[in-house]
């Protein structure tokens, strides 16, 4: 299994992923924190969900909180399920790598998706995050605990994961004017996820 196989794997395993994906919303404290820090546009938070998958349960939770959600996924079958599950959200079939939608959002989310990219592909993603964030907007993403690669399982398929070091992530965030708000390694209250939350600096402040 290599990083370049990840989209075809999720295309193959989309139905299995939807069936097996944990829907208890253990992510809720972080999602609430994410929304609390995000600016609002006409009372709503415009969220770009990178690697949105089927939309269940995270994008659904955001919609239930009156967010305006745009989901992006490089696996066509995931996008089809997202559209089926969340007809009120916008879905885009695209690879997050090099993405340029020509618009900005109040919040960008890459939950359990960004870490499927190779280390080399993760580095330019910080430009993608910053490009799509309005001033004062926030980005939240999950990573591994330190520099390295690992393999996981989705259905009958092996999936690739990679991470840079925490120091390297801080450098990449800072280079794009993204200030870390919170970073917890293996949060015990979030199924041991390692989570980053950062804000794009607002030049007006």
> pLDDT for 173-188, tens place per residue?
999 999 999 999 999 9
Residue 182, domain member (yes or no)? yes
CATH number (domain holding residue 175): 3.40.50.150
Non-local (6+) Cβ contacts of 150 within 8 A are 144, 161, 162
204 pLDDT band, cuts 50/70/90, is: low
Number of domains in the chain: 1
Overall average pLDDT of the 67-87 stretch: 98
Residue 205, domain member (yes or no)? no
Output the CA angle 64-78-94, nearest 5 degrees.
100
Q: Are 178 and 200 in contact (CB under 8 A)?
A: yes
d(CA 67, CA 106): 10
> pLDDT for 14-66, tens place per residue?
999 888 888 999 999 999 999 999 998 788 999 999 999 999 999 999 999 99
Residue 76, domain member (yes or no)? yes
Residue 183, domain member (yes or no)? yes
d(CA 155, CA 153): 6
Residue 90, domain member (yes or no)? yes
Non-local (6+) Cβ contacts of 204 within 8 A are 135
d(CA 7, CA 22): 20
Q: What percent of the chain has pLDDT over 90?
A: 85
Residue 110, domain member (yes or no)? yes
Rg of the chain on CA atoms, in Å: 16
Residue 80, domain member (yes or no)? yes
Range of the domain at 81: 3-200
Its pTM surpasses 0.75: yes
């Amino acid at each position: 299994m290599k990083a370049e196989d990840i989209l075809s794997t999720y295309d193959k395993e989309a139905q299995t992923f939807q069936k097996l994906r944990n829907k208890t919303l253990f992510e809720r404290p972080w999602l609430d924190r994410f929304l609390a820090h995000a600016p609002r546009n006409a009372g709503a938070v415009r969220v770009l969900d990178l690697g949105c998958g089927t939309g269940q349960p995270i994008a659904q939770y955001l919609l239930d909180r009156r967010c305006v959600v745009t989901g992006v996924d490089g696996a066509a079958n995931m996008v089809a399920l997202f559209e089926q599950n969340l007809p009120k959200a916008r879905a885009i079939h695209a690879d997050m790598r090099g993405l340029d939608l020509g618009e900005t959002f109040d919040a960008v989310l890459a939950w359990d998706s960004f870490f499927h990219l190779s280390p080399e592909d993760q580095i330019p993603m910080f430009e993608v995050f910053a490009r799509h964030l309005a001033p004062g907007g926030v980005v939240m993403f999950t990573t591994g605990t330190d520099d390295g690669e690992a393999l996981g399982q989705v259905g009958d398929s092996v999936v690739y994961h990679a991470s840079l070091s925490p120091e390297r992530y801080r450098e990449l965030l800072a280079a794009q004017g993204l200030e870390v708000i919170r970073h917890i390694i293996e949060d015990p209250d979030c199924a041991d996820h390692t989570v980053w939350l950062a804000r794009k600096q607002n030049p007006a402040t």
